[in-house]
Structure 1
Amino acid sequence: MLFALIAVIMAAALILMPQEAFEASVRGLNIWLEIVFPSLLPFLIIAEMLIAFGVVKLLGVFLEPLMRPLFKVPGVGGFVWAMGLASGNPSGAKLTARLRDEGQLSRIEAERLVSFTSSSNPLFIFGAVSIGFFNNAKLGILLGLTHYAANIFVGLVMRFYGRNEEKKNLNRSKKDTSIFPIMTALKSMHRTRLNDQRPFGKILGDAVNSSIQTLLMIGGFIIIFSVINKLLFHLHITSFFASIFSSLFHTLHLPSTLSIPFISGLFEITLGSQLTSQAGGATLLTQAIIVSALLAFGGFSIQAQVASILAETDIRFKPFFLARLIHTFFAAILTLILWKPVYLRLSTSENTSITEFVFSMETQGLSSTIFSFFLNYGALITILSLAGYTLLLYIQYRKSI
């Protein structure tokens, strides 16, 4: 009854406010078309191929001594972690679900892994937030450091998750105890490749097919949550919840003007980060704390994407959501702790070699250059990719008849 009532209210809001809904849809579509699709597609395709060729299995053997003691996950989790850091949400969930389907992860290990491989990519943190919204390259260093450091803390906390259940289901097969790890790794890669009988063309086609289907699903979530966020604002529901959070913000010595950006960011982090950067009466420190918390939480839009991916497996969503709350807490606290030693020191230090290395004065940094490239050519890349995907589906259809 509750879900039916919410659906009726949203449908009525769409009818009463078509212009606002259309503008929000276009905004969400532009984000997906210009940034999300072209930036995620190469990572997802390459990841699928690396899994198929057994390279991930090889890396898992080498990373086992690191990932198992620290995070209680197999070595293949190191690959998922690295890809999640580089490409951002929801790549970690996609790859975790893929490895779970192949039996390389137990359910508890998969739930641990997906909890700390969910993060925003550097392009969004440095390009969109720090330079695009705040026009402050040094802030990106602080946000990136706190975001990824907090994710490590989440992984260390979640290693204790599911210990009792794991003991009950502990039934590991005997592992290769070769004294030559590189030979063990190569054997694992070779066995994985032999088990996959698909030719190279089929592997590439399946990788493109799976990746674009995932990105189409992500695009749908981005658009619908952009519309929901806009409608909630015009229905004054956002302001209602903001009034509740304003008292909490007052207790935490945060400006009440940040309450509406915070509520908006709970649904969609791009809009929340933008509104936070424009909030009046707030210091840069308080703005950084709110943005850091929103980046860690991910927004309901990203969480819905992850939930949709995990629903195809037996991986439970509840541990992931719990990890997002832990990540939010750690990220906000680390931003407060590292404000003076990191941001203020970078701002006042005469030696700016670190920032000059990351951000050149002429181009406003590598992230800004890449971000501008996607704004200019991202839509073209997306359209060409979708055209290739349509052609691939047509060829597969012709072969099937």
Structure 2
Amino acid sequence: MGKWSPNRTLTIILAIVVIALTLALVVYPEQGFNAGVHGMKIFWDVVFPSLLPFFILSEVMLGLGVVHALGVLLEPLMRPLFSVPGVGAFALSMGLAAGYPMDAVITAKFRKTGMCSRVEGERLLAFTNTADPLFMFGAVAVGMFHKPAVGVLIALAHYVASFLVGVSFKFYGLREERLGPRQIEPAKGKLFRRAFQELMRARKEDGRPLGQLLGDAVNDSIRTLLMICGFIIFFSVLLEVMKLAQLTAILALPIRGLLALLGIDPGLVGPALSGLFEIDIGTAQVAAAKAPLIDQLVMASAIIAWSGFSVHAQVASVVTGTDIRIGPYFAARGLHAGLAALFTAVFWQMGVGRTAAAESNPVLPAFLRTSGSARDTLQLSLESIALWVLLIAAAIALSLLIDLLRRIRVVLWTARIK
């Protein structure tokens, strides 16, 4: 039999847990079915119409070489800030616009096509895994808290924390890169010329006609979305079965101690446990709990940044087939959750959203308003695309400015030497 190892112990524990959960599902079939229907409704009403356009467009843009050209344009911005290639800006912007797990899908494609190294892919996953504005302003602030103004507070804390995670992970994997550095050809020529050359090279290398490219994009996107649907339904049922089997009461003990240590209302223990597994269910329970508003907002920010085991499972499934390790991703999620909660409390004390939260019906921009239908969700997604196109344009302008300053510095240094 050989020597006993921790892997054998873990396998036995997992087997026991799976058998227990399966038996619980047999004992509570009706509740499990209702939980599955609830998960399916979340997917069909929100996730499917909001993510599908982004998935298709990202596939088409990769095939046409647009992403490769953007990588050249944004290299002077992304490399100094986050130590990732310029194409990382595409993963960041699409992740911001579409939310989980869009960034993981794009990062996995980058790694499979050799557009980033393993360490760079892990850095990208660390800070591009963000919630989209539609979710925070629409679903959370309006739909759950019924206070549109708190969306500004939650989103601001979320994105500031994400930026700091990216900057901190700039120093991750430096030793590994020194031992096996990725060969990067020196940049030559003007930025736009190099971007155009890269666009043509990538398009020629792909070679698929537009019709085939679009068809492949739709097929791949639907397949990925069906995988996401399965995870949402599974974790929705899993959480309900765990509650019925009283497993949540045991798991809640360490969370209760942590909240007591931080001075957060103990009424948020149950919602925090739900958020540990599923972001939508946990956030909704936090908003419905009887607790001080600031405690609710801090907990909601932490859950949104953590994103839940359901999203983690989706990310792990997406990056399967690459050599990207999931450990740094988990560490980044914990860091993001802590920073988001901290900045929510800090910004609240500074007055962000504090006064406006008491107003009954503040006005939101058109692209942040929400409704219950799939058609309106799709329209909001397309409007978000336009917003993030403008942000990418601004990033390109900043990148051009940095590249121009770099060139001026080189010219001045050369003249000084002569």
- TM-score normalised to the size of structure 2? 0.84
CA distance in 2: counterparts of 1:299 and 1:138, whole angstroms: 25
Shift of 1:372: 2.6
Quote the residue 2:254 is aligned against: 244
Quote the residue 2:164 is aligned against: 153
Quote the residue 2:349 is aligned against: 340
Shift of 1:240: 2.1
Q: Give matches, 1:125-136, under 5 Å.
A: 125-136=136-147
Quote the residue 2:237 is aligned against: 227
Q: Does 1:84 align with 2:95?
A: yes
Shift of 1:377: 8.0
Q: Is the 8 A contact 1:43 1:87 kept in 2?
A: yes
Quote the residue 1:270 is aligned against: 280
Quote the residue 1:367 is aligned against: 368
Question: What SS does the aligned partner of 1:89 have?
Answer: coil
Are the structure 2 counterparts of residues 257 and 377 from structure 1 closer, same or farther at C-alpha, using a change threshold of 3 Å? closer
Q: Does 1:113 align with 2:114?
A: no
Indicate the larger mover: 247-256 or 144-153. Answer: 247-256
Q: Give matches, 1:208-223, under 5 Å.
A: 208-223=218-233
Shift of 1:247: 2.5
Quote the residue 2:333 is aligned against: 324
Post-superposition Cα deviations, 1:149-200, rounded to whole Å, max 9, x if no partner, equal: 111111011111100001111141423411x111011001100001112111
CA distance in 1: counterparts of 2:109 and 2:78, whole angstroms: 18
Letter in 1 for 2:288: Q
Q: Does 1:165 align with 2:166?
A: no
Quote the residue 2:195 is aligned against: 185
Quote the residue 1:387 is aligned against: none
Match of 1:174 among 185, 193, 213: 185
Shift of 1:211: 0.7
Are the structure 2 counterparts of residues 88 and 103 from structure 1 closer, same or farther at C-alpha, using a change threshold of 3 Å? same
Quote the residue 1:33 is aligned against: 44
CA distance in 2: counterparts of 1:377 and 1:284, whole angstroms: 27
Q: Give matches, 1:90-105, under 5 Å.
A: 90-105=101-116
Shift of 1:277: 1.1
Post-superposition Cα deviations, 1:226-255, rounded to whole Å, max 9, x if no partner, equal: 001101111111122223322221221111
Q: Is the 8 A contact 1:35 1:375 kept in 2?
A: no
CA distance in 2: counterparts of 1:215 and 1:174, whole angstroms: 36
Match of 1:296 among 290, 302, 305: 305
Q: Is the 8 A contact 2:279 2:308 kept in 1?
A: yes
CA distance in 2: counterparts of 1:94 and 1:374, whole angstroms: 23
Q: Is the 8 A contact 1:245 1:259 kept in 2?
A: yes
CA RMSD of aligned residues (A): 1.7
Shift of 1:265: 0.6
Are the structure 2 counterparts of residues 170 and 241 from structure 1 closer, same or farther at C-alpha, using a change threshold of 3 Å? same
CA distance in 1: counterparts of 2:171 and 2:212, whole angstroms: 40
Question: What SS does the aligned partner of 1:159 have?
Answer: helix
Shift of 1:62: 1.1
- TM-score normalised to the size of structure 1? 0.88
Shift of 1:345: 4.8
Are the structure 2 counterparts of residues 143 and 21 from structure 1 closer, same or farther at C-alpha, using a change threshold of 3 Å? same
Question: What SS does the aligned partner of 2:354 have?
Answer: helix
Letter in 2 for 1:323: A
Q: Is the 8 A contact 1:269 1:298 kept in 2?
A: yes
Quote the residue 2:79 is aligned against: 68
CA distance in 2: counterparts of 1:37 and 1:345, whole angstroms: 35
Match of 1:308 among 317, 342, 353: 317
Q: Is the 8 A contact 1:60 1:77 kept in 2?
A: yes
CA distance in 2: counterparts of 1:152 and 1:333, whole angstroms: 14
Shift of 1:312: 1.8
Letter in 1 for 2:140: V
CA distance in 2: counterparts of 1:286 and 1:375, whole angstroms: 34
Post-superposition Cα deviations, 1:117-173, rounded to whole Å, max 9, x if no partner, equal: 101111111111111111000011111111111111110111111000011111414
Q: Is the 8 A contact 2:150 2:357 kept in 1?
A: no
Q: Is the 8 A contact 2:104 2:319 kept in 1?
A: yes
Q: Give matches, 1:345-364, under 5 Å.
A: 345-347=355-357, 356=363, 358-359=364-365
Q: Is the 8 A contact 1:49 1:207 kept in 2?
A: yes
Q: Is the 8 A contact 2:65 2:203 kept in 1?
A: yes
Question: What SS does the aligned partner of 2:372 have?
Answer: helix
Post-superposition Cα deviations, 1:350-397, rounded to whole Å, max 9, x if no partner, equal: xx9xx63x34xxxxx64333x43327787xxxxxxxxxxxxxxxxxxx
Shift of 1:86: 0.2
The percentage of counterpart residues that share the same residue type is 41
CA distance in 2: counterparts of 1:40 and 1:298, whole angstroms: 16
Q: Give matches, 1:375-394, under 5 Å.
A: none
CA distance in 2: counterparts of 1:84 and 1:42, whole angstroms: 13
Letter in 2 for 1:224: F
Q: Is the 8 A contact 1:133 1:277 kept in 2?
A: yes
Residue ranges of structure 2 left out of the alignment (5+ in a row): 1-11, 379-418
Q: Is the 8 A contact 2:275 2:303 kept in 1?
A: yes
Quote the residue 1:398 is aligned against: none
Question: What SS does the aligned partner of 1:172 have?
Answer: coil
Quote the residue 1:381 is aligned against: none
Quote the residue 1:399 is aligned against: none
Question: What SS does the aligned partner of 1:343 have?
Answer: coil
